[in-house]
Amino acid sequence: MRGGRKLEKLLIQCITENQDSAYRLAYSYVRNKEDALDIVQDAIHKAFLSVEKLKQTGSLKSWFFRIIVTTSLDLIRKQKKVQVMDDENLEFILPGSHDHYPNLDLAQSLDDLPDKYRIIIILRFFEDMKIDEIAEVLHENVSTVKTRLYQGLQRLRVNLSEEDQEEAQR
Amino acid sequence: MHDKLNRMKEQYESTPIPDELSSIVNKTIATRRRKNRALPWIASVAAACALLFAGVNASPAFAKAMSDVPVLGEIVKVMTIREYAEQDDNTAVHIETPGITNLGNTELEQTLNNKYLEENKKLYENFKDEVAQLNQEGGGHLSLDSGYEVVTDNEQLLTLLRYVVESAGGSAESRQYDTIDKINHLVITLPSLFKDDSYIQVISDNIKEQMRQQMHDNPDNIYWVEQPGVEPEIPEDLFQTIDKDQNFYISPSGKLVISFNEYDVAPGYMGVVEFTIPTEVIQDLLVSNEYIR
């Protein structure tokens, strides 16, 4: 039949092996079980749909993670749109509430870090992916990923030794 | 590694993994595999039918003129010719196969009815395979429900919808439409409605516009479509164009409706999505206004 049979097998293996990582990744965006499970499920459907269109340029894992990331972002964007309305209503209902400016430069924990930095820290240090693999997941170029990695660490007040920094840039 | 990073890693890795994750993953894979496997035969059966009817199809007017069979349109009937149901603790299957009678053209009638029987037989066999495989992998719940519905039935057209709903944790629905000209006794294909292939681009562009409009009107609507000002997340996943033989039907009021299966152009929660194409958009491309008005 199709030449995709072997690729399909590899994909199934990749999804099965990385399901916990994929779930944690999704969870780090949406922070609730139901949405994270939905994302994993949707991402698997998407992966099977487009596996035949996949050109073998990189690793299957990077590609699958990328689908998880984009599916998460889709969901967040959808929820954000709803939230904007809420804020407007709140302001209308609660006049005179003071604006609160958190210190944007300082993040106490990973959860405080904006998505674009957090994902890189997660993939680099917790999922042990290389910089060029992360660039593949995020569809960014390698230097952008390196810059954000560095900025993310700064915001977390993580000062790596020179040796560790070199290690991290790989 | 840095202490703080290590602590963060521990925290990250302590994100609890829900018990149902692996069963959801396995079931989704099972559904998807069956779907990918099912596609080739649907395509080949569709292609065979297209070939068979292309001759008459090319000129509805000619076919009409040559037809010596009295108009039997009103008494064409669709009924269930085979029903199959089976259920146990983990699996359930229900398949209803339609049969068309009194079409006035025995050959066409038999071809269609055989196609329905044949496809549902395959559907059932694939389901059994999947259940066997799932049991090998530790078991799980699977169900399959397939049936039909008459969408349009007027003096000229009969549109039969056949649907398949597969459930494995989540569910996935797919639909297949057949539009039959009862007067000229032919199956209408999408390309046969148009003068040339330019309809593919025109209809696709119109659908993209409708998708963007719907997303703009209601943030709950998500389609995988290019949006100005939004960088594409997975460019190769975005909706590009409809297929030459995209699933379609003609509504009772004579409008062309394009149908996409679940997950084809939108996330699962959007379900099966359908777009009515305004006739003025395709007017210049139509062979005639016989079917589409």
Rounded Cα distance, B134 and B122, in Å? 18
Rounded Cα distance, B69 and B49, in Å? 22
Residues A70, A124, single domain; the answer is: no
**Three-state DSSP class for residue A144:** helix
More confident residue, B137 or A8: A8
More confident residue, B52 or B109: B109
Q: Which residues of A touch B263 (CB under 8 A)?
A: 42, 45-46, 49
**DSSP of A34-65, one letter per residue?**
HHHHHHHHHHHHHHHHHTTT--TTS-HHHHHH
Q: Residue B238: closest CA among chain A residues belongs to which residue?
A: A50
Mark out the alpha helices in B102-244 (DSSP H runs).
106-136, 199-217
Q: Tokens representing B92?
A: 């359930």
pTM for this predicted structure:
0.56
More confident residue, B81 or A107: B81
Write down the pLDDT at residue B46. Answer: 45
Write down the pLDDT at residue B185. Answer: 87
- What is the rounded average pLDDT of the residues A133-148? 91
State percent of chain A over pLDDT 70: 76
Residues A114, A160, single domain; the answer is: yes
Cβ contact A40–B25 (<8 Å): yes
Residues A147, A165, single domain; the answer is: yes
Residues A20, A91, single domain; the answer is: yes
Last residue of a domain, one of A79, A98, A117: A98
* Closest residue to B170, CB basis, from A27, A41, A66: A41
CATH number (domain holding residue A12): 1.10.1740.10
Residue A97 has pLDDT above 70, yes or no: no
Last residue of a domain, one of A98, A131, A155: A98
Q: How many CB atoms within 10 Å of residue A57? A: 8
Closest of B40, B24, B35, B45 to residue B262, by C-alpha: B35
Q: Residue B10: closest CA among chain A residues belongs to which residue?
A: A126
More confident residue, B23 or A5: B23
Cβ contact B268–A27 (<8 Å): no
The CA distance from B155 to the nearest CA of chain A, in Å, is 39
Residues A91, A105, single domain; the answer is: no
Write down the pLDDT at residue B196. Answer: 92
**Three-state DSSP class for residue A92:** helix
Domains of chain B as residue ranges with CATH: 22-189 (3.30.565.40), 199-285 (3.90.640.20)
Residue B42's pLDDT band (cuts 50, 70, 90):
very low
Residues A49, A28, single domain; the answer is: yes
* Closest residue to A78, CB basis, from B40, B169, B220: B220
CATH number (domain holding residue A138): 1.10.10.10
Residues A58, A107, single domain; the answer is: no
Residues A77, A2, single domain; the answer is: yes
* Closest residue to B24, CB basis, from A37, A78, A125: A37
Rounded Cα distance, B176 and A97, in Å? 55
Last residue of a domain, one of A54, A82, A98: A98
Residue B13 has pLDDT above 60, yes or no: yes
- What is the rounded average pLDDT of the residues A50-70? 80
**Three-state DSSP class for residue B221:** coil
Give me the total of CB pairs closer than 8 Å, taking one residue from chain A and one from chain B.
115
Task: Report the run of H or E that residue B260 belongs to, with start and end.
Answer: strand B256-260
Rounded Cα distance, A65 and A121, in Å? 14
Residues A84, A144, single domain; the answer is: no
Q: Which residues of B touch A38 (CB under 8 A)?
A: 268-269
Rounded Cα distance, B145 and B112, in Å? 20
Residue B167's pLDDT band (cuts 50, 70, 90):
confident
Residues A107, A73, single domain; the answer is: no
Rounded to 5°, angle at Cα A3 from A17 and B117:
100
CB B181 within 8 A of CB B291: yes
More confident residue, A61 or B235: A61
Write down the pLDDT at residue B4. Answer: 82
> How many residues are listed for chain B in this entry?
293
ipTM > 0.85? no
Residue B59 has pLDDT above 70, yes or no: no
Residues A93, A126, single domain; the answer is: no
Rounded Cα distance, A131 and B120, in Å? 49
Cβ contact A37–B264 (<8 Å): no
Residues A89, A40, single domain; the answer is: yes
Cβ contact A158–B15 (<8 Å): no
**How many domains does chain A contain in total?**
2
* Closest residue to B5, CB basis, from A71, A74, A158: A158
Write down the pLDDT at residue B51. Answer: 38
**Three-state DSSP class for residue B161:** strand
pLDDT in tens, B234-268: 566 788 899 999 999 998 889 999 999 887 888 77
Closest of B183, B176, B192 to residue B249, by C-alpha: B176
pLDDT in tens, B203-225: 999 999 999 999 888 877 888 88
Residue B231 has pLDDT above 80, yes or no: no
Residue A61 is part of which domain span? Answer: 1-98
